[in-house]
Structure 1
């Protein structure tokens, strides 16, 4: 039998995420992250498919990774309307049934904060990216302000339970660099004038380093 916490994670959180990251807020960020994608795209945290309209004609296929069956169901209309084929290939970003160097672009929009085994997922991203491919992302992350970072760490135990495992205290840029990527940061700062624990955004692209 599913307990209340699992019910909340499975049936409520996907709807809350879909609503809180609607196109009014997230559309301009998705446009920047997805707009330069090309070829075969692996998307971590596909959710309800809100990224699909932002992919350019240069994208030929989208391989979706998402743990939520409900979110995949919510994506039905967007999947039908998509001009490119979309296939859900895994529920676990740390275990991808893909050959090495088999994708051209990896995209993540507000998903690295929630993936349980982020180190494993980043290792998989590096494994499946073709030479010259790019990893494009936007996430909320640990703030540069020590005061806000203390707040983020303090609220994380409660935040994580309510937000389905989301972390507001992850140093996303540091973790991506630590996984062997060279990062080109396009944005690092608060969302406009909002200074809340979840409003410190980082956006950029990364390529595998030489090591």
Structure 2
């Protein structure tokens, strides 16, 4: 295993497992997960931090996530969840295991920034959503002010290699809309000052197929 693969497969999942939890993160995560119901497709499931925030209305969780290690780290959360949790694909752009209209809710939490073929992944999410279903998301996205955008574009080549393909320069509400969804934003604001603004423009909301 080369250094790059070792970093992406053995180190980053552990760092993400530690970083993507806690009260500050949960203030954004919990309202998004609370809207889920029925059969949920969780894109970028990681080590399962969304599980503790899903309401009783969620009957089953289907996982699309590339990391074998993150899936292992999720085992205690999966056991505590007490409802079926199944990893259906390592690639959100290939949900061929799922039939059209087989999912009630899609949830993404700081995940679409790292999906390599994000347009295909969103097309697949749209395909598997039942009529009336919705995608609920919280993501960091391209900032609204030109100064921060310049920083985001400057750091992206190095940041992407360090962070498993994460993009700070994706305008995710616009990307979701272009994939055939009507987007309703609930919150969009900076959560970090100064240089950290490049990573700190958070957007949260819902999207329904048009």
TM-score by length of 2: 0.97
1:192 Cα deviation after fit:
5.9
Hey, what does 2:164 align to over in structure 1? Answer: 164
- What does residue 26 of structure 1 align with? 25
**1:206 and 2:204 aligned:** no
The corresponding residue for 1:190 is 190
- 2:52 equivalent in structure 1: 53
Over the residues paired in the alignment, what is the CA RMSD in angstroms? 1.0
Paired residues in the alignment total 208
- In the alignment, the residues of structure 2 paired with residue 25 and residue 166 of structure 1 have an alpha-carbon distance, to the nearest angstrom, of 20
1:115 equivalenced with 2:115 (yes/no): yes
User: Which consecutive residues of structure 1, in runs of 5 or more, have no partner in the other structure?
Assistant: none
Residue 173 (1) aligns with residue 173 (2):
yes
2:90 paired residue number: 91
Looking at structure 2, the residues matched to 145 and 21 of structure 1 have their Cα atoms a distance apart, in angstroms, of 26
- Hey, what's the Cα distance between the residues in 2 that align with 1:24 and 1:88? 27
**Deviation per residue, 1:107-148 (Å, 9 max, x gap):** 000000000000000000110000100100000010001110
Q: Distance in 2 between matches of 1:178 and 1:20?
A: 30
1:193 Cα deviation (Å)? 5.1
Instruction: State how far apart, in whole Å, the 2-side matches of 1:60 and 1:167 are.
Output: 32
Secondary structure, in 3 states, of the residue corresponding to 2:122?
helix
- Is 1:72 matched up with 2:71? yes
State the SS of the aligned residue for 1:197: helix
- Is the partner of 1:169 in helix, strand or coil? coil
Q: CA deviation at 1:83?
A: 2.2
**Structure 2 counterpart of 1:126:** 126
CA distance in 2, matches of 1:159, 1:36: 32
Q: Which residue of 1 aligns with 2:5?
A: 6
Deviation at 1:84, TM superposition (A): 1.4
Shift of 1:17: 1.2
Between 64-73 and 193-202, report the one with greater CA deviation. Answer: 193-202
Q: Which runs of 5+ in 2 are unaligned?
A: none
CA distance in 2, matches of 1:145, 1:196: 10
| 1:24-59 alpha-carbon deviations (Å, 9 max, x no partner) | 221111111100100000000000011101000000
